[in-house]
Amino acid sequence: MKISRYADAGVDIDAKAAALARAKKAIRSTFTPGVLGDVGGFGGLFQPDFSKYREPVLVGSTDGVGTKLKVAIDMGRHDTCGADLVNHCVNDILVQGARPLFFLDYIATGKVEPGVIEAVIEGIARACRESGIALLGGETAEMPGFYAAGEYDVAGTIVGVVDRAKILDGSRIAAGDVAVGLPSVGLQTNGYTLARKVFFDTMGHGPKDKLAELGGRAIGDVLLDPHLAYLNAMEPLLDADLAHGMAHLTGGGFYDNIPRVLPEGLDVVVKSGAWPVPPVFEVIGREGAVSFEEMHRVFNMGVGLVVFVAPADLARVGQIWKDMGQRWFAIGNVKAGGSRRVVVEPAPQA
């Protein structure tokens, strides 16, 4: 067969243009005062207002959603993972004390389906609006033969700013500090390859099967519970200089993420049972015969963000969060004389 048009080779330029046209309203809804220009430029223009910063430092991060996308595709729900992507990136720069400025997205697919792409971008835009971020630009790539039919991937880059004197690098964490956990509602965006293996292979369920242990909800819906952003909860603490450090519990769970912000000579002891563990983790651990240590290395176990605060400030921090309706749990303490090690103590048996 002779090929005379790009579409004959599998790339539909018109479909891509249609997808962008349908998403323009959502993208524009995220524009903040720093945005210059409109949707569709070769590059996004942003004029930041650094007037309140003495020594502004830009903080950047990039990430993807991982195999959570497989669940979204199987469930036919495309409006959640875009928001997960933004919120994950927000938290990754938040732990350094940064506020987000703008976000860039990248979507790749085997065949552009305008409705699907629009839903993904709507999710990205929704999360950007909630955190006051401009969706400054992005790219949608149609790659037939590289992605299977119906599949896509999404990644993003965030840029934020923090005053140099207020960078949180963990150096202020001290022996005696309290480790406070802000709850997640599920897996966030990590551990999905193991979770899918347990639910769909070991247990033999489909993503739309409902389990009583999951509150009668479909497995896929539970696995698509959102990755929360903790910016709004942490802003008043940052403003009041109450946070000594933070760790975002992503891939690597407690054991790999907390040491990234610990100074030498300190350990953290986490007390399992100090917070409620969502049922999804209990099912995975039991049905997959996954060890206690492995569960806490792969998953967040219901704690999305760990914040280190001085004992003298804990009551004030707790009141701030109470006033804004933010749940929190004191989950452990910082100990002197260690080697940046995390010990997760099993909950006492009843």
Instruction: For residues 137 and 186, state if they share a domain.
Output: no
Q: What is the average pLDDT score of the chain?
A: 95
Residue 295 lies in a domain: yes
Rounded Cα distance, 184 and 181, in Å:
9
Residue 173 lies in a domain: no
Rounded Cα distance, 259 and 183, in Å:
19
CATH number of the domain encompassing residue 242: 3.90.650.10
Which pLDDT tens digit goes with each residue over 253-310? Answer: 999 999 999 999 999 999 999 999 999 999 999 999 999 999 999 999 999 999 999 9
At 207 the pLDDT is 98
Which pLDDT tens digit goes with each residue over 70-97? Answer: 999 999 999 999 999 999 999 999 999 9
Residue 1 lies in a domain: no
CATH number of the domain encompassing residue 123: 3.30.1330.10
Rounded Cα distance, 135 and 103, in Å:
5
DSSP 5-23: SGGGGT--HHHHHHHHHHH
Number of H helices, E strands in the chain: 11, 14
pLDDT above 60: residue 9: no
Residue 162 lies in a domain: yes
pLDDT above 80: residue 14: no
83 contacts: CB under 8 Å, gap ≥ 6: 123, 124, 126, 127, 226, 227
Instruction: For residues 185 and 325, state if they share a domain.
Output: yes
At 3 the pLDDT is 59
Model pTM?
0.94
Rounded Cα distance, 318 and 280, in Å:
27
Residue 88 lies in a domain: yes
| Domain boundaries, position 276 | 178-345
At 350 the pLDDT is 59
Share of the chain above pLDDT 90, in %: 90
Instruction: For residues 37 and 153, state if they share a domain.
Output: yes
239 contacts: CB under 8 Å, gap ≥ 6: none
